[in-house]
Structure 1
C-alpha cells in the first residue's frame, strides 16, 4: 500500500469514529516526531503494539479485502502465548486485549483462525456484520465439514459448516480457537468491537489462503500516524 492511501484511510476512519461517537485514547493522535520524546514513558504502548493498524494483506485492493483496527489495550504477546521471555511490568498483568474496528461496506477480512486467541466480536453500531464460519480440519489447514456450536451473546447456538451468521448492532459472537472465520459489513459501515485473550498478530493468525498479516508500505508521503507494528522499528 502507498503511505498516501493509508493516510487517507486513517482520515476516513477517524471521521467514522467521530460520527459513531467513539472516542479514541490520547496516544491515537501522537505524531511521528513526538514518539521519540515519549519513548521511555510509552513502552507499554510499544511492547503491546497498541494503536493504528491498516492492512490490505498485501493483496492490493483495500476496498475489497482489508481492515482498519485500533488496538486499545493488550498484554504481552509472549506471555499470552506461553513464551519464555519475561514481559515488562507495563504489560505482564494484562491477559486480555480490546480493539475497535472500522469495517467498510462490502469489505471483507479474509478467512483465518487463531490457535491461542479466543475472542468476542461485537457489532457496536452501524449496519449488519456478517460471518462465514468453519472449524479447522485436523490438519490445521482444511475446513472441517462437521457442524459445531457457537455462543451468541451467551446463548449456545448450533451452526453448520460454512453457515453465514449475521449480527445486528448490539449483538456479538464468541469465536474459539481453530474456528475459521471471515467477516464483512453489509448495508453500510459497521463499528466493530473485539474483546479477547492477549493478541499476537505476528504468530497467531492462520489464513486459509496463505497471505501476510501486514502489508508492505511504499513511502510516497510522510505518515499521518505510525501504525502499531512500525513503532519499535521507528524508535530503534
Structure 2
C-alpha cells in the first residue's frame, strides 16, 4: 500500500470514529513529531511499542484495500512475553463492500461487538484437523446465549449485539447498511503467530513510502522513532 493511501484512510477513520461518539486515547492522534518530542521528554511507551498498540491498516498485500482490507486500532493488549496483562481490546472500522480473510485463532478467544453503524455480518465454519473448513454444525454464544448454526451460516449482529469466537472457529465479517464500528474484547492478541488463514496471506501490508506518515502504524514505531528503552 502507498503511505498516502494509508494516511487518507486514517484521516477518514479518525473523523468517523469521533462522529460515532467513540474516543480513542490521546496518543492515537499524535503526529510523528509529537511522538518524538514526548519520547525525548522521557515518556515510557514500552507497552504501546512491545504489544503493538495503535493504528493498523492492511490490504493483506492484495493491493485492493477498498475491496479486501481492514482498519483497526488496538487500544490495549497484553503480552505473554513482556507483561502479565492477559486481555486485549481493539476497534475495527468495517466498510460496506469490503471483505477480509476467513481465519481462526489458535490461542485467542474473543468477543466481537457491533458498537454502532450498519449490520455486522459474521460468516462462521468449524475447522478440521488439517485446517480445512468443517461442515459440522457449530455452537456459539450470542450475547451469552448459546445457539446452534449450520456451517457457513452468516450471523447478523445489530448494533449492541456480540458473538463469542472460540479457538478454532473460522470466521470472516462484513458490513451491510453502512460502515460498522466493531469492537473486540479478547485474550492477548498476537497477530504474528496466532492467525490461521484459510488462504495463506500476509497479515501486514508492504508499504510504499510516497509521503511522510500522518499517524504511525503499530509496526512503524521503531522504524521512525529514536527510542532507547
Q: After TM superposition, is the score higher than 0.5?
A: yes
Q: Partner of 1:17 in structure 2?
A: 17
2:59 aligned residue (56, 60, 75): 56
1:65 aligned residue (55, 63, 68): 68
Q: Partner of 1:82 in structure 2?
A: none
Instruction: Please state whether the residue corresponding to 2:174 is helix, strand or coil.
Output: strand
**Deviations, residues 19-56 of structure 1 (Å, cap 9, x unaligned):** 10111101101211233344451111111111000001
Q: Partner of 2:161 in structure 1?
A: 171
Instruction: Please state whether the residue corresponding to 1:221 is helix, strand or coil.
Output: coil
User: How far off its partner does 1:205 sit?
Assistant: 1.1
Q: Partner of 2:107 in structure 1?
A: 116
2:219 aligned residue (218, 229, 233): 229
User: How far off its partner does 1:148 sit?
Assistant: 1.6
TM-score by length of 2: 0.94
1:43 aligned residue (42, 46, 52): 46
User: How far off its partner does 1:234 sit?
Assistant: 2.8
1:134 equivalent to 2:125? Answer yes
TM-score by length of 1: 0.91
| Aligned counterparts of 1:97 and 1:232: Cα–Cα separation in 2 | 22
1:147 equivalent to 2:150? Answer no
User: How far off its partner does 1:93 sit?
Assistant: 2.8
Instruction: Please state whether the residue corresponding to 2:11 is helix, strand or coil.
Output: helix
Instruction: Please state whether the residue corresponding to 1:10 is helix, strand or coil.
Output: helix
**Deviations, residues 155-175 of structure 1 (Å, cap 9, x unaligned):** 000011111111000000000
User: How far off its partner does 1:107 sit?
Assistant: 0.9
Instruction: Please state whether the residue corresponding to 1:34 is helix, strand or coil.
Output: helix
Q: Partner of 1:96 in structure 2?
A: 87
| Aligned counterparts of 2:202 and 2:2: Cα–Cα separation in 1 | 16
**Deviations, residues 85-110 of structure 1 (Å, cap 9, x unaligned):** x51xxxx1310000011111111221
Runs of at least 4 residues off by over 3 Å: 36-40
